[in-house]
Amino acid sequence: MGSLRTVVLVVAVAAVGALGTLAVGAVMGMDGHELASLALALVPVAIVTIVAGLLASRLLGRASIAQRFVAVAVIAAAVAMANVAVLSMQMFVSDHDATLVTVLLLYAVGTGLAAAFAIARASTDALADLRATADRLADGDLDARTGRLDAGPEIDALGTALDRMAERLQLALANERAAERTRRDLISAVSHDLRTPLASLRAMVEALDDGVVTDPGEIRRYATEMRRSTEQLVHLIDDLFELSQLDAGAIAAETRRARLVDVVASAVDAIGPEATRKRLVVATDLGAAGETPCSPRLTRVLQNLLSNAVRHTPADGSVRITAARANGRLALAVEDTGEGIAPEDLPRVFEPFFRADPARSGAGAGLGLALAKRIVDALGGDIRAESRPSAGSRFAVELPVRPS
């Protein structure tokens, strides 16, 4: 198909050239006999043009852009001189005119060759830049860009497309690496937080099964610890499942509403046993905001914030929940008198699997705060953390109030 298109194109060029020459002759006042003679003279010229075009197409198939431009200029000049020679031999022009036209054609050849070299140089330099950029990208240098080429709209568009592809490739690779880091963090975090309660459960079950523990009081203590380990596993699995299933669009589209006072009560009940065990005082001050309609998803947010506060507050401490409503916004805060958060860790507390404790001695896999932030973001709100080491922490949530 490519060869056929080349033949058709060359024949079409020769035909257009012949017709153009005859049209010029007619405009110049040639009579019918002269036009017929001119047409006959153009037949061998057209044949030579077709043969030369086909040979040039075959020979220049692997030529560089510069060689092709020069060849086009030379072929065009050669055909023009051949036409002048034929016209001169047919006595359509005088020797003097033929010489004058030939000189002008030689000047045109020089000009055409210079223009061909200049255009070819600009194009080849731009293509060399494109190739160098592509090679760097292939070698893994994703920062490589072609930049501005100034080599014509087609080559400039190619360079822009290559740069766009490089940017998308760089972004895709960055996302892939981030996903891989997250996967590794997930495996590491979940492995640790599954191993600890499972090891505890296994040891206690084996002790009971082997009859090592027979005292009723000890058995009850073991049962309490086994329940605590089981609840820890359930909480971890629930966090993982909810985090993987969380759909921001679905949360934003939910129409269910609950009273804030009920949401807070449910969250407080969830952490009540642990707070009681540590003798913590959990206080609420909702004021008039208690009747505000809110998403039931806020229960999970408050539960995670309260669980985090209880975990990091020493015995006999306190946790306080406050709420206020103003200008169509609902402001919530969970404050504790715990150990606080180091300034360098504060910006990362909402990252999945982040744990300020390098030894990971505490419960949880570092998913609670990440899950809370995703829910708040999906509800169109904002969550932030404030803390001073050894002076407690404060987590503030602000949400738009939507009608019930």
Q: Among 93, 110, 138, where does a domain finish?
A: 138
Out of 79-93, 136-150, 236-250, give the one with best mean pLDDT: 136-150
The CATH number of the domain holding residue 350 is 3.30.565.10
pLDDT (tens digit, 9 = 90+) per residue, 247-258? 555 665 667 788
Q: What is the rounded CA–CA span in Å between residue 379 and residue 202? A: 41
* Most confident option among 38-47, 111-120, 224-233, 278-287: 278-287
The answer to whether residue 224 is domain-embedded is: no
Domain limit, last residue, from 116, 138, 160: 138
The tokens for 97 are 């005119």
Mean pLDDT, the chain, integer: 76
In a domain, 18, yes or no: yes
- Residue 17 belongs to a domain: yes
- pLDDT value of residue 337: 92
What phi, psi does 300 have (nearest 5°)? Answer: -65, -35
pLDDT at 388: 81
Q: Is residue 64 part of a domain?
A: yes
Q: How far apart are CA 134 and CA 242, in angstroms?
A: 43
Where in the sequence is the domain holding 326, given as residue range(s)? 253-400
pLDDT band at 396 (very low <50, low <70, confident <90, very high): very high
Rounded to whole angstroms, the Cα distance separating 123 from 154 reads 10
Locate 76 and state its tokens: 């065009």
Q: Does 58 map to a domain?
A: yes
Residue at 208 is within a domain: no
d(CA 66, CA 118): 9
DSSP-derived letter for residue 144 is -
- Among the three residues 121, 138, 155, which one is the final residue of a domain in this structure? 138
Q: Are residues 261 and 134 in the same domain?
A: no
For residue 386, is it within any domain?
A: yes
pLDDT digits (tens, 9 = 90+) for 291-318: 999 888 888 899 889 988 998 899 889 9
Q: Which pair of structure tokens corresponds to residue 291?
A: 């009747």
Query: What domain count does the chain have?
Result: 2
| 326: enclosing H helix or E strand | strand 318-326
Residue 95 inside a domain? The answer is yes
What's the whole-model pTM score? 0.51
Of the candidates 329, 295, 331, the one whose C-alpha atom is nearest the C-alpha of residue 401 is 329
Q: What pLDDT band is residue 360 in, cutting at 50, 70 and 90? A: very low
**Which residues are bridge partners to 384 per DSSP?**
396
